[in-house]
Amino acid sequence: MAENKTGLERYIRQTIFKGVGQEGQRKLLAAHALIVGCGALGTAIANLLGRAGVGHITIIDRDFIELNNLQRQTLYDEEDLRQNLPKAVAAANKLRLINSEITVEGLVEDLSYENIERLVGAADIVLDGTDNFETRYLLNDTCVKLGKPWIYSGVIAAYGITSTILPGDTPCFRCLFPDPPPPGTTPTCDTAGIVGPIVGMMGAFAAGEAIKLLTGQGTLNRGLTSIDLWQLNFDRLPVEARQPDCPCCGLREFEFLEAAGERGSRVASLCGRNAIQVTIRPTPNLDLPEFAGRLAAAGAEEMLENEFLLRYRLDGYEWTLFPDARAIIKGTDDPNVAKTLYARYIGV
């Protein structure tokens, strides 16, 4: 009954587990985790860390919820979909319902050169819930530069892979994968699909690593671990040493972070979506109601607006425009088409 006076009653099943204990729980409550991307993996991770009592959770995600997300993105429901909520907003709302004693921030943004050092710098640990290599190399550069641990996770089809990266200690992401794969050479959710259970497994794996790391207990995944749920293969690749000539953690040349600082518009294709995201740097602030009027005059239809986004159809494409001038243009996989459309109608 001593627990009743500690304020930790909610976590009693976790604190009587010797690996965590009350001391570990207090460390979790004092910790700040940054979850980058809140799709399938991100929701699985956020759910577990929020319930476990990680005291401050920041979720950054650039996307909104679609019907086909509900199969595996466990923090969302049909009501979120009806409200056209961005994922970061819906995930933060849900976590606050689950645990009102922690601080949760939901940021509807692209992780970029402009915000990444501030966000990573404020966190004790970074968890990868992204679906693309570009963001992972950017994260790796930043985490190595700032000396922050991060947990890489990737999931496709029924397969998952993960590594816990401790800068200056374990191999970094570029030690493991020196260069990004050429575009179009890796399977995507589009071509290979994804089953919910592997997401749950890899999300749980990453959340477990975070809890061990933040409490300073247990054995960390210092190499690459992969799970093939369908064939029932579990592999732990031997821990390799850091590569002395690794551009990132060896030579401390942060090429991806520097390249991300270039001005102008940038495009990214969104995994499994037949959609392209266009962003612009430096980031302007759009007056969405004013843009709604301007776009309606240009022929935009089926306009839908809330405080987070503006959705409409124009030229046969489905557009979603955010206050930071970011647009997701659905109906094309061609970055040049998206850039042209963006320049024509947003043109900032």
With 0-12 / 13-18 / 19 or more C-beta atoms within 10 angstroms meaning exposed / middle / buried, residue 330 is middle
In whole angstroms, how close is the CB of 167 to Zn ion at the nearest point?
9
Looking at the chain, list the stretches that DSSP marks H as alpha helix, in order from N- to C-terminal side: 12-15, 21-29, 40-52, 78-82, 87-98, 116-122, 133-146, 173-176, 189-192, 196-215, 255-259, 288-297, 335-345
What's the N-to-C CA distance of the chain in angstroms?
61
When asked if residue 175 is in the footprint of Zn ion (CB under 5 A), the reply is yes
In whole angstroms, how close is the CB of 133 to Zn ion at the nearest point?
15
In whole angstroms, how close is the CB of 251 to Zn ion at the nearest point?
9
In whole angstroms, how close is the CB of 36 to Zn ion at the nearest point?
19
The C-alpha angle with vertex 117 and arms to 185 and 205, in degrees rounded to 5, equals 55
13, 41 Cβ separation under 8 angstroms: no
Among 243, 97, 66, smallest CA distance to 171 is for 243
* Among 35-43, 174-182, 225-233, 333-341, the segment contacting Zn ion (CB under 5 A): 174-182
Cβ nearer to Zn ion, comparing 99 with 142: 142
Cβ nearer to Zn ion, comparing 87 with 174: 174
In whole angstroms, how close is the CB of 174 to Zn ion at the nearest point?
5
When asked if residue 36 is in the footprint of Zn ion (CB under 5 A), the reply is no
Q: How many residues does the chain have?
A: 348
Cβ nearer to Zn ion, comparing 123 with 172: 172
Among 101, 69, 100, smallest CA distance to 86 is for 69
Cβ nearer to Zn ion, comparing 156 with 175: 175
* Single residue of 27, 87, 148, 174 touching Zn ion by CB under 5 A: 174
Q: What is the dihedral of CA 13, 129, 155, 184, to 10 degrees?
A: 180
Dihedral sign for Cα atoms in the order 32, 197, 157, 38: negative
When asked if residue 207 is in the footprint of Zn ion (CB under 5 A), the reply is no
DSSP label of 87: H
Cβ nearer to Zn ion, comparing 159 with 254: 254
x-or-dash pattern for Zn ion, window 234-253, by CB under 5 A? ------------x-xx----
Among 72, 51, 325, smallest CA distance to 194 is for 72
* Among 12-20, 72-80, 86-94, 173-181, the segment contacting Zn ion (CB under 5 A): 173-181
Q: Which residues, in sequence order, are CB contacts of 16 under 8 Å at separation 6+?
A: none
How many residues sit in the footprint of Zn ion (CB under 5 A)? 6
* Single residue of 89, 143, 172, 194 touching Zn ion by CB under 5 A: 172
Cβ nearer to Zn ion, comparing 53 with 247: 247
Cβ nearer to Zn ion, comparing 174 with 326: 174
* Among 166-174, 209-217, 251-259, 262-270, the segment contacting Zn ion (CB under 5 A): 166-174
Q: What is the DSSP string of 129-141?
A: --S-HHHHHHHHH
Residues labelled as active-site residues: 189
In whole angstroms, how close is the CB of 184 to Zn ion at the nearest point?
26
36, 63 Cβ separation under 8 angstroms: no
Binding residues for Zn ion, per CB under 5 A? 172, 174-175, 246, 248-249
